[in-house]
Amino acid sequence: MSKAFKRNIITGFLWSFLGQSGYLIIGLLANIILARLLSPYEFGQVGIVMFFIVLAKVLTESGLSGALIRNNEATEIDFSTVFVFNLGVSLTLMLLLISFSGSIADFYNDSELKHILIVTSSILFINALQITQNARLVKNLEFKKKALYEFIAIFFAAVIGIALAYYNAGVWSIVIMQIATSLFLTVLLWIFEGPVKTIYFSKTSFQKLYKFGVNTTLSSLLNTGFDNLYQLILGKYFAISQTGFFYQGKKLQEVPVKIIKSTTLGVVFSSLSKLQDDSGQFQTYYRRIVTLFTIAVGLICLLVYFYAHNIILLLYGEKWLEAVFYMQVLIIASYFYMQEMFNRIIFKVFDRTEKILYLEIIKKSIQSISILIGVLLKSIEILLYGFLVTSIISFFINYYESRRVQNNFSWYEVILVIKVAFISLGTALIGFLIDNLFGLENYQSFYLFPVLILIFLLTIRVFEISNLEKDLTAVLKIIKSGQ
């Protein structure tokens, strides 16, 4: 491992973290202002529409960008093939959504959904124009550029969305903001990174990339579809406003999780792909990283769960308090989901992506049962708790299979995840007890913030889960020395 490569990993991680943090913070601030100006019903409308858009985006990308990143010998023909394929699929899906927009609107007895879906479908075509440029930036560890482009795009789109909401544009302020974000980012990428150098579709190239892409695509399709399916179910069998509460609870819960996921997984996958032939270094690097980030995710989930009520009240106001329940259940599920994502890095690095699809099918089969029971009993609680249980079971199954791929089974990570989960839960319970004992009201509970962190970190040290200073030093040493 060259010094330049090691340096690129460090700087790539830092810029990825800063870029994604900035992007999500700007998006969050815009969302907070929009939530103050708009109603849960309008966000519910967007939540329903975004189910179809997000699902179509997975099909458009088709996992081929991941194949480009992994392939150390990817050619311009490979990039061109992915571009042409993505463009064709995006146009096809866009036309399909437009065709079925009327039927979807009738299903929810809301005629405005038709127009919202037709306009929002343009995001698919716009995104197809930027996928290969993004893949090239990640492949070359140019996270600084990527972060800058994304920050500029979301900033100006947020300004437009807020201005429209202020002048009573209603749900269209959210729609236009999302379209503008994709459009600005695409324009920036085409100006500064340039268009695809060759417009050509190679059947040979596609078949080579397809093996990697098809499994990750179908897996992402299942995962994305089921995760967003709750928005459709809540809107149809309960109320569109409940979809709005779910949408906002999920939006807030995703902020810290997305920062960790996007900054860690992208950099780790890109760097580990280059270490796939050195099993010893791979194991050392992976294990240290997992330890540190399991602790980080555990602490973040603890704080989000404990302060969910205060966060909703402070950011969105009393009319959004029903979103607290969604936010708390989803953040616990996210803890196990993040561990699952780490395990999937192994499948991708060692080109065993068929395992991802296989495991996703098992996960969704289990999840379908909880969804069916929740709908039949008309219970939102069963729907959400079923999602949580599915996430926990899925982590254990994914862990077992990922270790089979490496022929290196160990209970280390399972024990680590369980210990950190119990420490997070115990710290939260102590916090609630102190809160009730002293009768803290609303924002007064923020005084407990340093206390919760201290209890959590001390418990981590006492139970010898990690010496954070030594582990962090070791990870940096691995990157610097390659040992």
Per-residue pLDDT of 67-92, as tens digits, reads 787 777 778 888 899 899 999 999 99
Report the pLDDT value the prediction gives residue 337, as an integer from 0 to 100: 87
d(CA 420, CA 423): 5
d(CA 480, CA 470): 15
Give percent helix, percent strand, percent coil of the chain, each to the nearest 5: 85, 0, 15
d(CA 389, CA 394): 9
d(CA 381, CA 354): 33
pLDDT grade for 364, boundaries at 50, 70 and 90: confident
CB 59 within 8 A of CB 279: no
- Report, as an integer, the average pLDDT of 455-468: 84
DSSP-derived secondary structure letter, 38: S
Write out 62-88 in H/E/C secondary structure. Answer: CCHHHHHHHCCCCCHHHHHHHHHHHHH
Identify which of 59-73, 207-221, 289-303 has the greatest average pLDDT. Answer: 289-303
d(CA 288, CA 271): 14
CA dist list (Å): 69 to 82, 139, 140, 191, 210: 12, 5, 8, 22, 13
pLDDT mean across residues, the chain = 84
d(CA 136, CA 419): 39
Q: Which amino acid, residue 34?
A: L
| 22-26, 241-245, 283-287, 333-337: segment of lowest average pLDDT | 283-287
Helix (H) or strand (E) holding 301: helix 279-306
DSSP-derived secondary structure letter, 261: I
Q: Where are the alpha helices (DSSP H) in 377-465?
A: 380-406, 412-437, 449-462
Nearest to 478 by CA among 347, 284, 303, 283: 284
d(CA 345, CA 139): 15
CB 304 within 8 A of CB 449: no
- Report, as an integer, the average pLDDT of 224-230: 83
List, in order, residues 6 or more apart from 174 with CB less than 8 Å away.
34, 38, 42, 43, 46, 161, 165
CB 181 within 8 A of CB 153: yes
d(CA 254, CA 365): 24
The CA-based diameter of the chain, rounded to the nearest angstrom, is 69
CB atoms within 10 A of CB 397: 16
Helix (H) or strand (E) holding 167: none
Report the pLDDT value the prediction gives residue 266, as an integer from 0 to 100: 60
CB 117 within 8 A of CB 104: yes
| 197-201, 211-215, 333-337: segment of lowest average pLDDT | 211-215
d(CA 326, CA 246): 6
Torsion of CA 226, 231, 237, 241, to 10 degrees: 170
Tokens 């962090």 belong to which residue? 472
pLDDT grade for 479, boundaries at 50, 70 and 90: very low
DSSP-derived secondary structure letter, 265: I
The residue that leads in pLDDT, 18 or 199, is 199
The residue extents of the domains of the chain are 1-237, 275-483
d(CA 25, CA 262): 14
DSSP-derived secondary structure letter, 411: S
What DSSP letter does each residue of 215-259 carry, written as one string? HHHHHHHHHHHHHHHHHHHIIIII-HHHHHHHHHHHHHHHHHHHH
pLDDT grade for 286, boundaries at 50, 70 and 90: confident
Report the pLDDT value the prediction gives residue 482, as an integer from 0 to 100: 41
The residue that leads in pLDDT, 114 or 413, is 114
